[in-house]
Amino acid sequence: MPGFISEDIVEEIRFRADIVQVISEYVHLQRKGKNFVGPCPFHQETNPSFTVTPDKQMFYCFGCNVGGNVFKFIMLQHQVSFPEAVRILGERVGVQVPDGYNPRMREQLRREEKAWKINAWARDYFHQVLLQRPEASDAREYLARRGITSEVIQDFKLGFALPAWDSLIKFMQGKGVTARELVDVGLAVSGNKRTYDRFRSRLMFPITDVRGRVAGFGGRVLGDEQPKYLNTPETDFFNKSEILYGLDRAAQHIRRKGYAIVTEGYMDTIAAHQFGIKNAVASLGTSLTREHGRVLMRYTKEVIIAYDADAAGVSAALRGLDILQELGLRVRVVILPEGKDPDEFLRHRGAGEWERLVAGALPLIEFKLQAALEKYDKTPAGKEAVLEDILPSLAAMQNELEKNEAVRLIASRLFTSYHSIAEELRKFSIGKRKKWTNPDKITKNKHNMINNHGVDFGQKAEYGLLKLILEDINFIDSISSQLPGNFFHDPFCHTVYEHLLHLYGQPNYSPSVLFDYLEDGYQQKLGALLMEPVPGDDREALLTGYIRAIKKRQLLAHRKQLQVALAGAEKNGDQEAVMRILQEINTTDKSLKGGEMVT
């Protein structure tokens, strides 16, 4: 939000930072009419659908629906917060950004610092319990059986949560931390009658962000209890879809090696580091997300997946591979022996064998081909199913030489000709291109936000009015004189109009400013609405029609209230009220014919 830094400074930077010039440093843009187009930097595509609109100082991708202003672009490109994006652009255009924060930002920072401190205390507490308490003897024996050395235990600050329901709560009370604060960071659970420790009788793995701050924890049971693993829940300070376990230690090694190894669990990554494989991270047992991919792209363009050899591990790998490739990462997959995970393989075979295994990791297309061939039979129908599985990955390959080699490989494995596979790829690529929304044909899209047939006339009028205001904020005068207050029912329209009322009259207004005030979901809707054309040439006539539709909706709602009141009056035998309400209904019906409220 712009309030984190002086709005005057934000606006000065916005004024100086031309969005076309900024984005041109990252994306090859070509002029197309009033706009500029190029390949989207946020997803992989064959036909450019990323559009920059200078007159609105915004960008929008018709492929992945990501849009925003110049600050949003820097936030996405560099994976930074709004204040950090302001500072990056400030340095670029020569505007100094001070470090002062407003009260809201200071409170947010205070809460974050307190969360980091609480989690750090919890990490140290669990670690000391593991090292010293007799109740943790089973955990120490378990780590010894897994071959984890005392140095690694110390380095990763492994710990143990005692079986008592409130041992951590009592410890934290001595630090001045309340049970409510522990609930907020995910270390405690608030039940019907009491608050209790979330983690009990578990081997504890502190989960740190890339700066080494403890964001959350993972806990593993030592017996057969379920769930086997328990993570900190999603909180304001912890989002496991964005965090890779061990990245704070691995980041520089990933840069040096030129690739990252992604494992499925804590122990796999810990074992890898113990054996000198320092470029390993873990995805916390979840399938890889787009956010994980964007984080990895800061350090490398190549990722090697090393998940368990069981069916679940392979399935999770496939989901992750598709997402990473869409982002433009080169992906390979380590094929582990059946029944093995990276931890077991390293302990039994050693680092040398592991390096040979990594050297032989299969490229994505070959891995998917092998998986598909094992999944389907060799009948013509089976071969078609194989192609259906692998054509999306084949079509997405950027290197033409590698793509040609992949076509030859697929043809040989399916016992068919190179030209047959090439033709199937050509037809698939044509079909895929037809699915892309063409920015030049957006005016013909019958399913845009204003002309969506699935909404009622009132909601259509709301989006139409909002579009007119976004094109010319001066329409607010005409609208507010006839429809006072914030009359919008749709939550998105209501929120945007509230900000427009606030921004109205400010110098250098641009609709791109609105992106600074909206959450991601609403930013996406705003980007789509801004890129739609006004549905007609006569804007004044459209304005009149939309206002009339909103008034009609208001009259219909008023009439419905009168009918409810009439039923109540009749039930109570209040003839005077009945006559008065009937007269009001009659007046309202007359108003509906003209679209105006008769007073």
What CA–CA distances, in Å, run from 418 to 362, 368, 396, 409, 428? Answer: 21, 18, 18, 9, 15
What is the rounded average pLDDT of the residues 73-84?
Answer: 86
Q: Mind listing the pLDDT tens digit for each residue in 549-596?
A: 888 888 888 888 888 888 888 888 888 888 888 888 888 777 777 645
CB 161 within 8 A of CB 197: yes
Q: Mind listing the pLDDT tens digit for each residue in 183-216?
A: 999 999 998 889 999 999 999 999 998 878 899 9
313 — pLDDT class (breaks 50, 70, 90): low
Range name among 310-319, 325-334, 427-436 with the lowest pLDDT average: 310-319
In angstroms, rounded to a whole number, what is the distance separating the alpha carbons of residues 30 and 56? 17
Q: Would you call 159 helix, strand, or coil by DSSP?
A: strand
438 — pLDDT class (breaks 50, 70, 90): very low
Strands (DSSP E) found in 255-320: 260-263, 280-282, 302-306
**pLDDT attached to residue 369:** 92
In angstroms, rounded to a whole number, what is the distance separating the alpha carbons of residues 263 and 283? 7
Q: Which amino acid is residue 466, in one-letter code?
A: L
Is the pLDDT reported for residue 406 higher than 50?
Answer: yes
* Percentage of the chain exceeding pLDDT 90: 38
What CA–CA distances, in Å, run from 137 to 126, 130, 148, 157, 206? Answer: 13, 8, 15, 16, 19
**pLDDT attached to residue 508:** 64
In angstroms, rounded to a whole number, what is the distance separating the alpha carbons of residues 185 and 176? 15
Strands (DSSP E) found in 30-130: 30-32, 35-38, 50-53, 58-61, 67-68
In angstroms, rounded to a whole number, what is the distance separating the alpha carbons of residues 158 and 206? 7
Number of H helices, E strands in the chain: 24, 16
What CA–CA distances, in Å, run from 408 to 86, 403, 414, 417, 593? Answer: 49, 9, 10, 8, 71
Helix or strand holding residue 138 (H, E): helix 137-145
**pLDDT attached to residue 445:** 42
Which tokens is 419 given? 């030209």
**pLDDT attached to residue 422:** 92
Q: Mind listing the pLDDT tens digit for each residue in 442-499?
A: 334 434 555 554 456 778 888 989 999 998 888 888 898 888 889 898 899 999 999 9
What is the rounded average pLDDT of the residues 26-53?
Answer: 87
Is the pLDDT reported for residue 226 higher than 80?
Answer: yes
What is the rounded average pLDDT of the residues 297-322?
Answer: 73
What is the rounded average pLDDT of the residues 74-80?
Answer: 85
CB atoms within 10 A of CB 257: 18
Of 219, 284, 234, 273, residue with least CA distance to 251: 273
Please tell me whether the peptide bond between 227 and the residue prior to it is cis, using omega within 30 degrees of 0. yes
441 — pLDDT class (breaks 50, 70, 90): very low
**The pTM is what?**
0.60
Helix or strand holding residue 420 (H, E): helix 418-435
The residues facing 206 across adjacent strands are 217
320 — pLDDT class (breaks 50, 70, 90): low
Q: Walk me through the domains of the chain, giving residue ranges and CATH numbers.
A: 2-93 (3.90.580.10), 102-238 (3.90.980.10), 239-360 (3.40.1360.10), 365-435 (1.20.50), 457-589 (1.10.860.10)
**pLDDT attached to residue 454:** 45
Between β-strands 260-263 and 302-306, what pairing exists: parallel, antiparallel or unpaired?
parallel
CB 200 within 8 A of CB 163: yes
CB atoms within 10 A of CB 376: 17
Between β-strands 202-208 and 159-161, what pairing exists: parallel, antiparallel or unpaired?
antiparallel
**pLDDT attached to residue 197:** 96
What is the rounded average pLDDT of the residues 333-349?
Answer: 86
